[in-house]
Amino acid sequence: MNTTMNRTNRTTRLAAALVCAAAGTLAFGAHAAGEAKNVIFFLGDGMGPVTVTAARIYKGEKQLAAKPGSLVSSERATLVMQSLPYAARVKTFSLDGQTTDSAPSMAAYMTGVKMRNEVISMSSDTMAYDSAGKQYINGEDTTCQPTNGKAADTLLELAKAKGRAVGAVSTTRVGHATPATTYAHICNRNGYNTIAEQSVPGHANYNPKLLDGIDVLMGGGQRNYLVGAGTKRTDGVDLVAAMKAKGYAYVDTGTQLKAVDTAATGKLLGLFSPSEMAYELDRVKQKLDQPSLSDMTEKALGVLSKNDKGFFLMVEGGRIDHALHGTNAKRALEDTLAFDAAIQTALDIMNKKDPGLKNTLVVVTADHDHAMAFNGYPKIGNPILGLVNGYADGKPTKAADGKPYTTLVFGNGGRPNATPSSQVNAEDGNKPWIAPARGPVRDDQSAMDTTDDNYLQEVGINLGTPGAETHGGGDVMLFAGGAGSKLFKGTVENTKVFNKVKEAAGL
């Protein structure tokens, strides 16, 4: 009798398990495939794992300074992106580089195609350089030949074809690699004028897959849209005027953007600086009339979310990358926190419009890493921008040369040299860089303020002047939440992220 009962129990448990498994599969499929009529794709340019970790600690330091005792230690702070329930790691190599450029890495997310460095949303046979090694550009105009590859459909274009609203927002130029991959196709990313033209309805170079046009486009880059002194246009065509003639509302200051009535705005173009927008630290300290990334995200969602069929929005924290190229960790961390705040803004808005994000997918990732390293054995609570104080005795840790070193360092980068322009920060009133020299003998940083806005972390290999630091080839993190987010797990090729978003959004 006991044997019979045991068999019956085993059979019952097995049947129950199969039912649960089937139910789980059905629930996963229903949740994942085609439910996300809204997609918000956040891209922290160059935001590798060390940058994310350091930003979290930096956020904790700020929180403790504002509200002592609110955390056990700064390490225990929480970034919004890391609160999303699903996560994955992403391989970032390009078709021709172990370490990728931003163009093919973001284009892989947007098109599912592996391409060469500096190529934007084209087929894998596209070349960025001619046989003589010259870029296919003349100034900031393209010289790409029509036989040099074919356009690869982007997620933004696929969403537009479904009747959804579409937009791209960045703190870089709107024609910079990351935003450009969503709406443009070009063999070399440096043809900024041509990229701009592809966004303008009615222009001879307009991208017809955008149909009636991108609904929202915001960032920097006036010099590729406007004519006159200081601009890069060579044909005398004012692209802003052309877009306004097609019904776009145009704003160029933060004040003007705040005044935009999204309920009455169908198409919105915002260009807030000649080239890149300011770093968040400078935007705030210098009281510049530029919007924050959160401000732009809020207005973009206000315009796009009116479409009952849904929307696709790409939001880039683009200047994280630029600060890292400059080995200026403080600005990189400030911009990462501004990026994280924009994610919170989007979640707050969409949870009101779409409770529980039942129809909204939020993806947060980076296109590549950088050469920044988290260094030494600092004690808990050690300032992330400070010198390493050891966990055992709390005293400054010394290198073999008897001198202290900082927690954050770079494998390579640039140093100021005899050239006057390399010695100062043009974006901060030409204040001098504080940069430990890279030579036969290390500078003693004991008396340096390593938390200064213009302090540049030490570098292992000197590649030139500030800004010369390279990308890193490591895998990056991806976080996801909302409709279809269960698809994002494990370690994946960057091209597969495209497939997962496409499936989740029913594109």
Total Cβ atoms within 10 A of residue 460? 12
102 labelled catalytic? yes
From CA 215, how far away is CA 111, in angstroms rounded? 20
Q: Give 491's strand partners.
A: 89
Burial profile 331-350: b = 16 or more Cβ within 10 angstroms, e = fewer:
bbbbbbbbbbbbbebbbebb
In the DSSP assignment, the letter for residue 385 is: T
Helices first, then strands: H and E counts in the chain? 13, 19
Q: What is the per-residue burial (b if ≥16 Cβ within 10 Å, else e) of 158-176?
A: bbbeeebbbbbbbbbbbbb
CA 256: distance to chain centroid? Answer: 25
CA-to-CA dists, residue 22 to 260, 345, 462, 484, 504, angstroms = 49, 37, 57, 18, 20
Q: Which of 417, 444, 446, 412 is nearest to 433 (CA)?
A: 417
Closest CA to 291 of 352, 342, 239: 342
Residue with tokens 């929307």, as numbered in its chain: 311
Report the SS3 class of residue 51: helix
CA distance 273 to 223: 8
User: Judging by beta carbons within 10 Å of its beta carbon (0-12, 13-18, 19+), is residue 96 exposed, middle or buried?
Assistant: middle
Beta strands in 118-189 (DSSP E): 137-138, 141-142, 165-173
Distance CA 372, CA 457 (A): 9
- The angle subtended at Cα 380 by Cα 285 and Cα 84, nearest 5°, is 70
Catalytic residue among 73, 74, 83, 102, which?
A: 102
d(CA 247, CA 267): 7
Name the residues annotated as catalytic.
Answer: 102
